[in-house]
Structures are given as C-alpha cells and as structure tokens.
Amino acid sequence: MSNFDLIKSRDEEYVVHSYGRFPVALTEGKNALCRDADGREYVDFTSGIGVNSLGFCDQGWIAAVTAQLSKLQHVSNLYYTEPCGLLAEQLCLRTGMKKVFFANGGAEANEGAIKAARKYSFDRYGAGRSKIVTLKNSFHGRTVTTLSATGQDVFHNYFFPFTEGFEFCGAGDFDTLEKLCREGVCAVMIELIQGEGGVLPVDPGFVKKVSELCRKKDILLVIDEVQTGMGRTGSLFCFEQYGITPDIVTAAKGIGGGLPLAAVLFGEKTEGVFGPGDHATTFGANPVACAGGLEVIKRLDGDFLKEVKAKGEYIAEKVKKMPHVTGTAGMGLMIGIALEEGVKAVQVVSAGIEEGVLLLTAKDKVRLLPPLTVTYAEIDRGLEALEKALEKC
C-alpha cells in the first residue's frame, strides 16, 4: 500500500464525504512547491484556495506565528491582546476604513456584515427595512444565511427554511437593482470579481452606479472581498481599483496567510453599529492568527502588489496561447481560464495533477490562485505542466 492509499482509506472510513477530493495527499511545501506522501512534487497554483498568501512555510510568517505561539495562543475577547489591535490598525490605515471585527472564516465574516447592515438600518429607520440585494451567480458562504444570500439556485436546496430577506439581481443589470432598492432595502452586497461563480469581474460602470445609488438612499454597500482581498488582485483590496468607498468590507481566505482568520471592516457610517454584546465569536482575533495576518499585511507593500499585477499579466499572456484556451479573465493573481466547448475544467485539473501542477476550477473555467509570492521560475514550471495537461485533454 502506498502512503497515499493508507491516508485515503482512513479518510474514507472516518471523514464525512462532503468534499470531492482529488487523489493527492500533501505532506510538505515551500512557497509554491509542495510534495505528496509518496514524494512527488507539484507546483501549487491553488494556495489552499487563495489562503496561503505567502506560500507554504514562509520564513517571516513562521517566525511571526511561532513567536506569538510561544507567548500565548488564545485569551478570549474578554481581554486585550496586542496583535489584534496592530492588525486592525494596519487594515484601517491601509484602506481608510474605521473599525475591524475579527472572525474566523468568510461565511462568518459575511454573517457579521449582514447583521451589521440590518442593525444599522434598524437603529435609524426601525423594523421592516431589512432586505439585502445580492447578485445572481454570487457566492457568500455555506451557513444558512450566507447560502440564502448566495444568488445561485443550486445552493437553495435541502436546508429549508432559508433566511428571508434576500433579493437577487443580475451583475450589470442596474435597472433591476434600482427597482429592488425602492423599498425595504438596507444593503447591497456584492463581490467585485465573482470567484466561485467563474472568475467574472463585475462591470466597473455598474459598480459605480450602485455605489452612487446606495449613497443617495442610505443603503449600505457591502463588498465581499473574501477571495479578492489581501493583495490577490494586485491592490490590497479590489475595491480600490473600482474607485468606490464601501460601507462594509469582508475579508478572509488570504488574510491570515494560512491560519483561520477573517475580518469585517467598517467605514464611517457603520463603525458604531455593533456595541458590547451585539456580536461576538470565541475564536475571533486569536492572537496567533492575527500575528500571521500582521506579517501578511506588512509584506503587501506597493512593490509587492505591483509584482502581483505583473505576474498575473505574465501568466495570462502565456495561458492565452495554450491549446483549448479561448480566453482569460480576472485581475492580478486571480485568473480564470475559459476552455473550448467539450473540454471540461475538472479534466484539466486531473491531467494537471499527473503533470505536476495543482489547479482549481470555478464553474466551467480552470482557476489559478497561486501564492502571491510565486516566483517566475515556479510560474514557468507550473505553466509548462499546465500546457502538457491541456494537450492531453
């Protein structure tokens, strides 16, 4: 029995089969290279779905995390710790947002944003102004309420009753959005690039108009940057490139560099919405996770972010010339690859594993989310494997 077979058989027996796993068991890694249980090497173009911002086992990140780990691992939110405030300060100074609530994952951050939006409206206008407009084909998480917020029918099954109060509008369809916003709406919540939905950037003209409408009607603009945030698109947050000022921004995936961490960022209007007792989570602002997050944000300076852009363009240019590829979409190191009809994205991912590159899918596209620290040598090696995988399909 190979090491892989052993790991897999145990998993098959004892772990809930809620994921369709690929036949790989990873054991160690360095930046964008990793190794499986039987010693095969892969270039990682997934970064744990946009989580390992600084790649596997970055020295600075390990030093920051282990330094905190050997002081305190957790204290609860009944007391102060330094990493929490330091990371919140960085997030606010770098974005112009005013306050931060720390959570543990994307769905949870979005839950916090939804609660805050409803409370903001309740405080000002009383009950009944609680609807939230989201986009068709969006993805906001897997809790009952964030599933309800997700604008895809496939997610609205089995788990009835879903949370009331969400209305959906096509990305780019401003007329419908305006109609939906006539009454009873407290917030519009959108991704700027629909990630799980197929790496689809939302039209900047539409986003601008939504932002103006929201401002005019005191409807909160909530931007879900769980996937696009923390340098992924070549700016600290993607909203900067859209030239808008959101009222609430959520971040997760890459924010902790590999530890479970998420954040809800509040702007001028919303910074005071939550008072003591209004919202909480036991693990929120865990000092080890925040120490990791602090190292991540420190590294994402202007030069680093320019490199993210340059590397993204370099990859897209090369990928466009590959077999079966009809185009690319995305920003920075969030890249979707459109394929000719008949070529399935999941087939490409499986062939990629055989060739030594780890890839993601997003709907009918192949999706790349390499660590932001991926080197050009790693990129070239990964792209060579991707090209061979495409040739096989």
Ligand X SMILES: *Cc1c(COP(=O)(O)O)cnc(C)c1O
Contact status: 191 vs ligand X (CB under 6 A)? yes
Cα distances from 280 to residues 18, 102, 107, 115, 150, in angstroms, run 28, 9, 14, 11, 23
Spell out a b/e string for 347-386, using b for 16 or more CB atoms within 10 Å of the CB, else e: bbbbbbbebbbbbbbbeebbbbbbbbbbeeebbebbbebb
**106 part of the interface to ligand X, by CB under 6 A:** yes
3-state helix, strand, coil in the chain (%, to 5): 40, 20, 40
Residue nearest to ligand X (CB): 106
* Least distance CB 222 / ligand X (angstroms): 11
Total residues binding ligand X (CB under 6 A): 15
**Using the rule CB under 6 A, which residue among 112, 141, 330, 356 binds ligand X?**
141
Among 29, 55, 151, 195, binds ligand X (CB under 6 A): 195
By beta-carbon proximity to ligand X, the closer residue of 139 and 274 is 139
Alpha helical stretches, state H, 31-173: 47-50, 59-69, 82-95, 106-125, 144-149
Segment near ligand X (CB under 6 A); pick from 57-65, 68-76, 99-107, 366-374? 99-107
- Asked if 300 and 229 touch (Cβ cutoff 8 Å), the reply is no
| Single-letter amino acid code for the residue at 360 | L
For residues 7 and 220, which CB has a smaller minimum distance to ligand X in the complex? Answer: 220
226 binds ligand X (CB under 6 A): yes
Q: Find the part of the chain contacting ligand X (CB under 6 A) among 40-48, 223-231, 353-361, 369-377.
A: 223-231
Q: Which residue reads 């080197």 in tokens?
A: 375
Interface region with ligand X, contact rule CB under 6 A, candidates 66-74, 102-110, 292-300, 350-358: 102-110
Instruction: Kindly tell me which of 191 and 247 has the beta carbon lying closer to ligand X.
Output: 191
Site for ligand X in 249-308 (CB under 6 A): 252-253
Buried b / exposed e along 23-42 (16+ C-beta atoms within 10 A): ebbbeebebbbbebbeeeeb
Choose which of 118, 129, 140, 324 interacts with ligand X (CB under 6 A). 140
Q: Is position 227 an interface residue for ligand X (rule: CB under 6 A)?
A: yes
Query: Which residues of the chain form contacts with ligand X (CB under 6 A)?
Result: 105-107, 110, 139-141, 191, 195-196, 224, 226-227, 252-253
